[in-house]
A and B are shown apart, each in its own frame.
Chain A
C-alpha cells in the first residue's frame, strides 16, 4: 500500500471515528468522552466511569501527582516535536454505532493489506473493527476458549473486568513491577489507563493455548493507555501474544502502555508482540508516538521471562522490555526485530537486572533501517553484588538499506560482582547489491529478494515467535519495507 493511500485511509478512519466530545463531563457522568486536558478531575472521571474501587482511584491520583513532578525523558536518540499533554483526550468510550457493519463497509485498501499479510478471513472482520455482533465466528471462538481456560482456573479478561471480579489479585500485584512513579510515561499511564488485559495462571497450570488479544475483541479501542498485568503462579506456564500484524490505526497520536509480568517460583512467561501502529505518511506526518514501559519480574527461583517483539509501526518507538532477575537461577530473554522506514524513529532495547545467583540473560536484537529511518538499540545489563555466577550474552545486529538511514547501538554494562560474565557482540551490515542481484538472478523480484534477505537477518528472533505469528510477521517485514528498493 502506498504511503499516500495509507495516509488517506487513516484520515478516513479518523473521520469515521470522530473526535467525540460533546458534553462537559464534570457534572455529567453519562458523557462518553472526557474533554481534552489532564487534571485530577480527569483522573476521577475515568475512575468513576469504570466504577473503580476507592483504592484504585487513590492509586491513580498518586500516579498523577507523581507525573506532575516529572519531566519527559530526553536521553533517547529521538527527535520528537513537543507534545501538548493538555490537548490530548484521555478518555473516550468505544463507539459501537459508528463501526462498519460488515466487511463491505471497510476500506478496500485495508483489506488488501490484510490479504498481503495472510490474515485468516474470519479474523479480518474483527481487526477492521466491524461491530462485534456481526463477527459470529470470532465470538464463538472466544467463548469456546474462555470455557476451556475457566476449567483450568486461568483468568484471562479485560483489565476493567479484572478490577471488578478479581480486585484483590489486581491490588496485590498492580504496580509491583512498574511503580506509578517509575518514569514519566508509566506515571501518565498509571493515572489515566483506559483498559487492557489481565492474566492469572494458577499454580502448576500450563496454559494450553496462546493467549491472544484477538479473543478479546470486546476490548477493542483500548490502545491508547493500555495496562496489562500477567501473573504466573508457582510452576505455571503461559504464552501471551499482543498486537497483530494488521495495520493498527488510532485517532490518538500519543500512546503510553504499561505491561507488568510476575513469574513466581519455576514459572515461565513468554510474551510476544507484533506492533504495527500507523507510522505516519512518507513525510512522517500523523504517525503514532509509542512510549511503552514493559517489565517482568522473575520473582521466584528458576523462573523465566521471555520477551519477543517485532516492531514495525509507529512514528516514534520508545520501548525497553526488561527483566528483573530476582530469583536464583532465573532466566531473562529479549528477542527483538525493529524496523524503521521512511522517517520512523525507534529507540528500543532492554534492561536485564541480575539480582539472584546463577541468573542468566540473553539479548538478541536485530535493527533494520531503511529510507531515512533511525534505529537505536539501547540496552542495560546490570550485575548486582549478589548475582554470583550470573551470565549475559548480548548480540546486536544492524542492517542498513540505502544510504540515508542510521543505526546506533548503545549498550550499558554495569558489573558489580566479579564472578559475573557479560558478553557483547555487535555488527552493522548493509544489504549488498551483490546479495540482491544473486537473488534476482535466481528469479526473485527485487522486493521478494529484499524480504528474503531481511527475513534471514531476523531469523534468530522470528523463530522465537509462535508459529502462526511468525508466518504473519515474515510477511509484515516485507510489507514494511515496500518501496525501499528498486
Chain B
C-alpha cells in the first residue's frame, strides 16, 4: 500500500513557547486506520492541529510529507482541498449559515481546486441523500445553522456527515468519541467504519479505548510527552485500558 502520510522527527511549540511535540515519527498508508492514544496533555490535539494547519502552532523541526508533498508548506484551506479532513473535537458554531449551504460551498471549493465542475443544487441534493442513506442517519440537522444549538452527539454526527460528503483521503478525527453517550458513540463509530476505504487513511485521536471497541484500528500508538512511546496492533489498546497510561511515564 502506498504511503499517504509520513511524519519525521516533528517538533512543534505553542504561542507561549512551550514545546508540545518533541520528535514524532509516524507512517500512515492508504487504507489504514491508526489510533493515537495518550493522556491529557500528551500532545494529541497539537498533532491534529499541526497536521490540519490550525494557527497558533510553530513547527520547529522535522517534516510532514502527504502524498509526496510538503504538507506544512500548504495553507489550511489548501490542505483541506487536497483531501485532508479534520473532525473537530469541538465543532464550531456559525450562526445564520445553513448547514447545507455550508457543505455545498465547501464541496464546490474542493471541486474547483481539482478542476471539476461545481455541483448544482440538484446534484448536490442527490449526493446528500446517498450519504445519508449510507450512514443511516436522519436529515434533521441539514436545514439548521452550522452546529448552532446542536447537542454534543449531533455535532459529532455532523462532523462524520461532512467527512462522508467531502470524501477526504486523510481523515484525522480528534477525540470524536469524547462526550458521547453510548448510542451516539455507536452511530459515530458505524459512520467511521462505513467510510473506511482502500484509498483513504484515518487517524483516530482518542483518550479512551471505548471507541476502539467499535472501530478496529490497524495500528495503535501511545503518545506521551510529545513522543510516540509505543506502537502496536489493536491489542495495545486493551492493554492500555487495563494498566492505564502511568506505565509510560518513565519511558
* Among A432, A439, A443, A460, contact of B96 (Cβ-Cβ < 8 Å): A460
Cβ distance B121 to chain A, nearest Cβ, rounded Å = 14
Cβ distance A397 to chain B, nearest Cβ, rounded Å = 9
Inter-chain contact A448/B105, CB cutoff 8 Å: yes
Inter-chain contact B95/A448, CB cutoff 8 Å: no
Given A435-B92, A445-B109, A452-B105 in contact, is the A440-B97 Cβ separation under 8 Å?
no
Given A452-B102, A452-B105, A456-B145 in contact, is the A443-B113 Cβ separation under 8 Å?
yes
CB 8 Å contact bits of B61-95 with A (1 = contact, 0 = none)? 00000000000000111011100011010011111
| Complex Cα gap A403–B158 (Å) | 32
* Among A446, A453, A458, contact of B94 (Cβ-Cβ < 8 Å): A453
Cβ distance B91 to chain A, nearest Cβ, rounded Å = 7
Inter-chain contact A443/B94, CB cutoff 8 Å: no
* Among B93, B95, B106, B146, contact of A443 (Cβ-Cβ < 8 Å): B106
Residue A22, interface by CB 8 Å: no
Given A442-B106, A443-B166, A445-B109 in contact, is the A456-B77 Cβ separation under 8 Å?
no
Inter-chain contact A456/B94, CB cutoff 8 Å: yes
Inter-chain contact B92/A459, CB cutoff 8 Å: no
Q: Which of A435, A442, A455 has the most CB of B within 10 A?
A: A442
Residue B133, interface by CB 8 Å: no
CB 8 Å contact bits of A441-474 with B (1 = contact, 0 = none)? 1111110110011011111100000000000000
Residue A104, interface by CB 8 Å: no
CB 8 Å contact bits of A88-127 with B (1 = contact, 0 = none)? 0000000000000000000000000000000000000000
Residue B126, interface by CB 8 Å: no
CB 8 Å contact bits of B138-178 with A (1 = contact, 0 = none)? 00000001100000000000000010001000000000000
Inter-chain contacts of B93 with A (CB < 8 A): 435
| Complex Cα gap A432–B92 (Å) | 10
Inter-chain contact A437/B76, CB cutoff 8 Å: yes
Inter-chain contact B92/A438, CB cutoff 8 Å: yes
Inter-chain contact B55/A433, CB cutoff 8 Å: yes
Given A433-B55, A452-B105, A456-B145 in contact, is the A441-B94 Cβ separation under 8 Å?
no
Inter-chain contact B77/A440, CB cutoff 8 Å: yes
Inter-chain contact B80/A441, CB cutoff 8 Å: yes
Residue B52, interface by CB 8 Å: yes
* Among A442, A445, A459, contact of B102 (Cβ-Cβ < 8 Å): A442
Residue A434, interface by CB 8 Å: yes
Cβ distance B88 to chain A, nearest Cβ, rounded Å = 7
Residue B230, interface by CB 8 Å: no
Inter-chain contact A455/B96, CB cutoff 8 Å: yes
Inter-chain contacts of B110 with A (CB < 8 A): 443
The residue on A at minimum CB distance from B147 is A438
Inter-chain contacts of A444 with B (CB < 8 A): 77, 105-106, 109
Inter-chain contacts of B102 with A (CB < 8 A): 439, 442, 452
| Complex Cα gap A448–B108 (Å) | 12
* Among B79, B85, B91, B96, contact of A438 (Cβ-Cβ < 8 Å): B91
Inter-chain contacts of A432 with B (CB < 8 A): 92
| Complex Cα gap A460–B97 (Å) | 11
Cβ distance A259 to chain B, nearest Cβ, rounded Å = 29
Inter-chain contacts of B162 with A (CB < 8 A): 442
Given A443-B113, A446-B77, A456-B145 in contact, is the A438-B105 Cβ separation under 8 Å?
no
Residue B54, interface by CB 8 Å: yes
| Complex Cα gap A458–B81 (Å) | 27
The residue on A at minimum CB distance from B90 is A434
Inter-chain contacts of B166 with A (CB < 8 A): 442-443
Inter-chain contacts of A460 with B (CB < 8 A): 96
Cβ distance B76 to chain A, nearest Cβ, rounded Å = 4
Inter-chain contact B97/A443, CB cutoff 8 Å: no
Given A455-B97, A457-B95 in contact, is the A441-B76 Cβ separation under 8 Å?
yes
CB 8 Å contact bits of B1-15 with A (1 = contact, 0 = none)? 000000000000000
| Complex Cα gap A445–B97 (Å) | 16
Residues facing B in A20-55 (CB within 8 A) are none
Given A438-B88, A444-B105 in contact, is the A452-B94 Cβ separation under 8 Å?
yes
Inter-chain contact A439/B94, CB cutoff 8 Å: yes
Cβ distance A60 to chain B, nearest Cβ, rounded Å = 46
Inter-chain contacts of A441 with B (CB < 8 A): 52-54, 76-77, 79-80, 85-86, 88
Inter-chain contact A443/B92, CB cutoff 8 Å: no
3 A-B pairs closest in CB distance: A456-B96, A456-B97, A442-B106
Q: Provide 14 A-B residue pairs closer than 8 Å at the C-beta atoms, listed in order of the A residue.
A: A432-B92, A433-B55, A438-B88, A438-B91, A440-B75, A441-B76, A441-B80, A442-B103, A443-B106, A443-B109, A443-B110, A452-B102, A457-B96, A460-B96
Known contacts A448-B109, A456-B97; can you find 19 more A-B pairs with CB under 8 A? Answer: A432-B92, A435-B93, A437-B76, A438-B91, A438-B92, A441-B52, A441-B54, A441-B77, A441-B86, A442-B80, A442-B103, A442-B106, A443-B113, A452-B94, A452-B97, A453-B94, A455-B97, A456-B145, A457-B96
